[in-house]
Every structure is written in C-alpha cells, then in structure tokens.
C-alpha cells in the first residue's frame, strides 16, 4: 500500500483534505466534472502536449490554465482513481541533466494542484507530487523526453490558471540526510518519556510513493503505549501533516491516528495522538507542502496504554445528551479515540470508524433526530443503537452530507423513557483539517435544522429554510435552465425537475415530499452544488 493511501491532515484551506483509494468516495459540493470537449485547452490531451524547452532558471515561467480541462490520463499512484483529475499536458527533453527542477505555482483560483511525470505519452509514472510548496526535484535519464501532466482533483478543489517552469537543477537544495526512510535509526522511547527530533524539509524529494516530498523520523517502543507526536516550537507553525505511523521501512502498512488538536502547544502547532501502540519500530514522515516547509521540531511522548483515550472512547463511557424541542447544540472535540466497531454502511457509503466516540440520550418522543454539524471539514457519520453496551442493535444512521456538511440521523418508533446509544466518527479515518470539533443536538420530531441558518436574503442557496416544501433557490449564475435533484436521508433521488431561473431566482415546489431532511443537488456557474434543506 503506498503511503498516500493513508490520509493527511491540514489546518488551512484550500488544501487536500484526503488522498485515498476509496471506491465509495462521496461527492463534494464544489466538485467539477470537467468542461465540454469543445472548450478544452489545446494541450488537454497527452498527444497534444505543449513542448517546453529546459530552462537555465525560472525567471520566465510559462502560463497555463486547466479551468476547462478534461481527464486524459491514467489513475495516479498518489491520488484518488477516477475521472476527477482535470489535466493539461507538457513535454520536455532532459538534455544533459539527470534531475529536472519543476516549479508549479497556482493562482488563487486554483485551489488544488499537482503534477505527474511520465516517461512517455501513455508510459510509466516517474513521479507524482501533490500541492508542491517549492521547486520539486525529479530524477530522470539524460537525453530523454518526458511528459508532465498538471492537474486539479475536483474532489478536493478547483482548477485554474498557473505557471510552470522546468529548469536545470543548479539551485536545488541538497536532500536532508533523513530524506530516505532507510537512513533513519529508530530512537528508544520509554513510557513516561519524550524523544525530540529537529530537522528541515527543505530539499526533500518525493521518492517513496507518498505524493509529497518528505523526511523521516523513527522511534522504538518496548511496551504498549499511547503516543503523542507534537510539532510544538516549530516556527513557522506546520499546518499540514500525516496522520499515519508506518510499521516498516520502506513505507508499508500503517496505523491511523485517533485524533489531533492544536490547543496543547499554544503556538498554533498540532499534536497527533496514536492510542494503544504495540511494541515495535515506528516511522513517521514529515511532509513538505503548502503550510509545511522548512525547519521542524517533533516531540514524541509515550504514556501508558489507555491513559490518553477520550472518556467516551467506548460505549460504557458514553456522554449523555439532553433532548430539546429545538436544536440546542453542544460542541465536542474528542481526544485520543480508538475503533469500537467497524464502519456502518449508511445509504451507499461505508467509512472508516477508527476514531468513533460515544454518546447517549433518553427518548422523550417516539420520533427523534440527532443533528451533527462539523466546525471544520469533518465528514460526520452517526449511528444509533438500542439495547445496552455489549448488547447493541443498530437502528439508524446519518451519513448523507460530505466534508464539512451537517447531517441528520432520524429515528422513528423509539420507546419513550428508554436510553439509546450512538457513536460519532469521521468517514475519512481522520478528524478534518481546520477545527476538529463538531456540534451535536437531539431534537424531538423529524429534522433538526442543525448547521442551517435561516435568512430572508442569502447570497446563494435556499430560503426560507426550513419551509413547507416551497422555497426559493438563489443562483450565482444567470442559468437559463437548471437540473435539480432531491435526495433523501439514504442518498436516494426521490424528486427531480428542470426549471428556468429569472434574475438568478427560482421557485421550487417540493411540497409533495414528506417532512424531513433532504439534500438539493443542482448545477450553478458550472459547479455542482449541494444544499441541505428541511420540510416541516
């Protein structure tokens, strides 16, 4: 398994929230499907790659734009498979050089950027680099033609203008001594102690399949331990980091973190928690990316197994929630969490429950709704159980929204006075970049309204919300006709229409639908958007 098939945490946007092989990947509201072929750029295809001349420096980079590009390449080793890579192509001869210095600089409009180097059009992959923060070195064979694919993954951000320079390697910094995992000797880490590492990612090379230039640190445990890795005292603070510990070198299978937080350091840096690590050698990659470049300090601390977990890591420690007639939220930011049960298949989606934590409530009505709203870009999943801890029966779930979107978990036929248990986790094996916390509320009736702020005149979206099913959709574009789909809590399309807008406004009558929570999916300004709405 390549390293990037693990996940990555980021604290600033726009960044990649996730690079993972996930056949059940959910749609993201800002995603693009690519342009029609007639408007695609001239170098949209590998066969029509723009020819570049190897430069001595990067004083005059060439301008490019993949705004209207389509996908014309294979799946890459460092990104999601599928048709979401909107690419343009270039070709260059390496001349007398054995290393190419590639500088890809996005414009503010390009919120996701990456490049792949191939040894032929339709040939093998030489390098794959995601969101490069500086000039990236790529080892090549002198006197050979190479093809460079610049793309944006529409699952994680938008395409746009950029500049590209392919130059001689004269000004590249030398790779750090720990650029290769094999060059690292794991340091002994005893329970109750801390091992600190310092280094830099400047000059790091993407050479071990991770998609990001990175350097390595390692430690050895003689006994089971809860381990925290912090970037405290790193200046400037690192805003991007892996949430994976590798069990071997070269990188192979790994262990996902249970959580992360940015409060302990006090300087904007993050602390990542890995609970219940078995004795053995562990290797950690420090990446080079936007928001993570240059000198770093790592502090790796070991505590006795079980001492760092969240109080509600298991069902027996479930935190009680109080139901109300309307949504009254409580904010939670769990600490170190470990998996209690495998991920539930909710609708058509099955995520990773490695970080599930537990809550409970006493039913005050036969119909109740739990609302969950991330404060960052967590992809929240909720599952509800009847019975007692150790003898639970799954009765409902909520997992319709994508990254950062609120979700409702609706339950009917409950017994008033009974206690019900629920767990919450991130679909993506991680807590989201940005704020890792989320809000929860338990409401009597169908639909919570969590995360939805009603407004008479919003800039875009649906109003009023909630409604009786008749509402106005405000569009950013003056589209003559818009295709609209309504999805229910299980992700099924239950209502569709195509309507014309007048002055950017469209009245939608979905009053034939039952009361509850729905998703409205439509295309506006060339982008697929998803709005959550409620029918009372």
Region 403-421: what's the mean pLDDT?
91
> What's the pTM value of the predicted model, to 2 decimals?
0.64
pLDDT at 151: 96
Q: pLDDT, tens digit, for every residue of 295-354?
A: 999 999 999 998 888 899 999 999 999 999 989 999 998 778 888 999 999 877 888 888
Q: pLDDT tens for residues 141-186?
A: 999 999 999 999 887 778 999 999 999 988 788 889 999 999 999 9
Choose among 98, 107, 86: nearest CA to 126: 98
Question: Quick one: pLDDT at residue 528?
Answer: 62
- Ranges of beta strands (E only) in 254-351 are 254-256, 259-261, 271-277, 280-287, 295-304, 319-320, 323-324, 330-332, 345-346, 349-350
pLDDT at 430: 54
User: Is the pLDDT assigned to residue 278 strictly greater than 70?
Assistant: yes
Between 286 and 462, the more confident residue is 286
Going by pLDDT thresholds of 50, 70 and 90, the confidence category of residue 456 is very low
| Statement: residue 445 has pLDDT above 60 | yes
- Give the phi and the psi of residue 316 in degrees, each rounded to 5: -60, -25
Mean pLDDT of the chain: 83
Q: How many CB atoms lie within 10 A of CB 219?
A: 24
Confidence of residue 268 (pLDDT cuts 50, 70, 90): confident
The mean pLDDT of 383-408, rounded to a whole number, is: 89
Enumerate the β-bridge partners of residue 128: 116
pLDDT at 450: 79
pLDDT of res. 527: 60
What integer is the mean pLDDT of 442-448?
88
Residue 8 predicted with pLDDT over 80: no
More confident residue, 115 or 431: 115
pLDDT of residue 524: 62
CA distances from 136 to 98, 109, 302 (A): 14, 22, 35
Which residue ranges form the domains of the chain, and what is each CATH number? 31-167 (2.60.120.380), 181-304 (2.60.120.380), 315-444 (2.60.120.380), 461-535 (2.60.40.3080)
> Which span out of 42-56, 365-379, 389-403 was modeled with the highest average pLDDT?
42-56
The pLDDT value recorded for residue 433 is 56
Q: How far apart are CA 182 and CA 251, in angstroms?
A: 9
451 sits in the region (left: phi over 0; alpha: psi -120 to 50; else beta) called left
The lowest-confidence range among 178-192, 219-233, 265-279 is 265-279
Residue 389 has pLDDT above 90, yes or no: yes
Give the CA angle between residues 101, 174, 57 to the nearest 5°: 30
Confidence class for position 106, pLDDT limits 50, 70, 90? very high
- The residue that leads in pLDDT, 512 or 500, is 512
């Amino acid at each position: 398994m390549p390293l990037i098939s693990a996940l990555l945490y980021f604290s600033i946007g726009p960044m990649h929230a996730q690079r993972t092989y996930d056949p059940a990947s959910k749609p993201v509201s800002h995603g693009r499907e690519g342009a029609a072929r007639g408007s695609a750029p001239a170098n949209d295809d590998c066969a029509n790659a723009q020819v570049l001349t190897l430069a001595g420096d990067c004083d005059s980079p060439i301008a490019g734009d993949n705004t209207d590009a389509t996908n014309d390449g294979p799946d890459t080793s460092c990104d999601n498979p599928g048709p979401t890579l909107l690419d343009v192509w270039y070709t260059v001869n390496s001349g007398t050089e054995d290393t190419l210095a590639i500088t890809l600089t996005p414009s503010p409009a390009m919120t996701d950027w990456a490049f792949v180097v191939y040894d032929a059009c339709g040939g093998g992959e030489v390098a794959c680099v995601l969101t490069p923060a500086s000039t990236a070195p790529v080892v090549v064979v002198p006197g050979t033609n190479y093809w460079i694919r610049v793309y944006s993954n529409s699952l994680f951000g938008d395409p746009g203008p950029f500049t590209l320079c392919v130059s001689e390697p004269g000004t590249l910094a030398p790779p750090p001594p720990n650029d290769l995992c094999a060059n690292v000797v794991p340091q002994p880490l005893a329970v109750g102690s801390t091992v600190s590492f310092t280094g830099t990612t400047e000059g790091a090379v993407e050479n071990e399949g991770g998609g990001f230039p990175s350097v390595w640190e390692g430690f050895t445990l003689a006994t089971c331990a809860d381990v925290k890795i912090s970037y405290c005292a790193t200046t400037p603070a690192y805003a991007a980091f892996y949430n994976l510990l590798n069990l071997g070198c070269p990188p192979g299978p790994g262990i996902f973190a249970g959580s992360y937080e940015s409060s302990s350091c006090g300087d904007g840096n993050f602390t990542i928690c890995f609970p219940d690590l078995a004795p053995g050698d562990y290797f950690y990659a420090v990446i080079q990316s936007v928001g993570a470049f240059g000198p770093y300090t790592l502090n790796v601390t070991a505590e006795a197994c079980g001492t760092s977990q969240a109080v509600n890591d298991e069902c027996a420690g479930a935190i009680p929630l109080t139901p109300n007639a309307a949504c009254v939220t409580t904010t939670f930011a769990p600490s170190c969490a470990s998996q209690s049960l495998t991920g539930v298949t909710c609708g058509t989606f099955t995520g990773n429950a490695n970080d599930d934590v537990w809550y409970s409530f006493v039913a005050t009505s036969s119909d109740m709704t739990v609302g969950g709203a991330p404060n960052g870009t967590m992809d929240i999943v909720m599952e509800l159980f009847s019975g007692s801890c150790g003898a639970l029966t799954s009765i409902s779930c909520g997992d319709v929204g994508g990254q950062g979107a609120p979700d409702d978990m609706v339950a009917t036929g409950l017994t008033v006075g009974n206690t019900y248990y629920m767990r919450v986790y991130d679909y993506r094996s991680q807590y989201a970049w940005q704020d890792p916390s989320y809000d929860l509320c338990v409401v009597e009736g169908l639909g919570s309204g969590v995360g939805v702020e009603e407004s008479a005149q919003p800039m875009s979206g649906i109003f009023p919300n909630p409604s009786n099913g008749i509402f106005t959709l405000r569009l950013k574009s003056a589209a003559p006709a818009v295709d609209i789909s309504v999805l229910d809590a299980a992700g099924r399309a239950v209502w569709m229409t195509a309507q014309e807008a007048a002055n950017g406004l469209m009245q939608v009558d979905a009053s034939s639908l039952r009361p509850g929570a729905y998703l409205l999916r439509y295309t506006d300004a060339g982008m697929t958007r998803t709005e959550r709405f409620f029918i009372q």
